[in-house]
Amino acid sequence: MRPRDRSQQTQNMFQKSPKQSTNITYKTPAEIEKMRVAGRLAAEVLDMIGLHVQEGVTTEELDLICHDYMVNIQKVIPAPLNYRGFPKSICTSVNHVVCHGIPGPKKLKKGDVLNVDITVIKDGYHGDTSRMFAVGTPPIGAQRVCRIAYECLYIGIEKVRPGLRLGDIGHAIQKHAEAQHCSVVREYCGHGIGRDFHEDPQVLHYGNPGEGVPLVPGMIFTIEPMINAGKRHVKLLPDGWTVVTKDHSVSAQWEHTVLVTETGYEILTLSPGTTTP
């Protein structure tokens, strides 16, 4: 999303802007089919990289493996690479990193939890998805927040159907997270997606039922709740990208790209390795 204050020159991809624009593009059947292909390919990158998430590997190595797979095997474009200056092909967010972690030389260790965020461009259309991975057996608290974030994702998806509004999605996610004594990050959000990486509408992961943009068939957007084990407050590191929890609590995130259909929803980022409730 756009920076909250453009004068700050922050480079983050998904930061919530202060005003909700409604310049929404509704996809045609032909565009939806292209989005299905892009979404499936993005999910297949996650299927592939899971086997490489092991103790001792660096996130930079994971980035190189994903980049090679996307460019040389799938023949797709890694959307994050050079997007607004982002230097890598994937985002890797470890433990208390909320989002936009830049792959680097630090090695993964036993007990780490890692979000890998993949976006590909195929035939001009984007597919965007992320999953949590574990290195060995994480602490109970980290396992718990990963599970709750996963539950929040699907609770939000279940609210996608014509006649409801974006506020219904956000409210359902917030209610579940807070009932489990976790918190929802508010500075970053889901987004419309299609030919552009980030389109309208913004998809907040908190809110009030019955408020916000109405859901209409042909809308495609991501739902990607960032759930913290501790307080919701976050800070941006000096690299201009990496977002961490202020209290150093573990954060978890799962993401799907979702289509609003005539009767409900279709998840576009499914693959053989995708687990669903």
**Of 91, 94, 111, 95, whose CA–CA distance to 103 is shortest?**
91
Encode pLDDT of 155-186 as tens digits. 999 999 999 999 999 999 999 999 999 999 99
Residues 175 and 178: their CA atoms lie apart, in Å, by 5
On the question of pLDDT at 13 being above 70, the answer is no
Band (pLDDT 50/70/90 cuts) for residue 18 is: very low
**Of 63, 140, 149, whose CA–CA distance to 104 is shortest?**
63
pLDDT at residue 273 in the model? 87
Right CATH for 24-267 from 3.40.50.300, 3.40.50.410, 3.40.630.10, 3.90.230.10: 3.90.230.10
Encode pLDDT of 230-265 as tens digits. 999 999 999 999 999 999 999 999 999 999 999 999
Q: Specify whether the CB–CB gap between 123 and 195 falls below 8 A.
A: no
Q: Compare 167 and 5 and report the one with higher pLDDT.
A: 167
Q: How far apart are the first and last CA of the chain?
A: 28
Band (pLDDT 50/70/90 cuts) for residue 14 is: low
Mean pLDDT of the chain: 93
Encode pLDDT of 28-48 as tens digits. 999 999 999 999 999 999 999
pLDDT (mean) for 7-31: 66
On the question of pLDDT at 11 being above 90, the answer is no
Tell me how many degrees the CA angle 267-154-70 measures, rounded to the nearest 5.
45
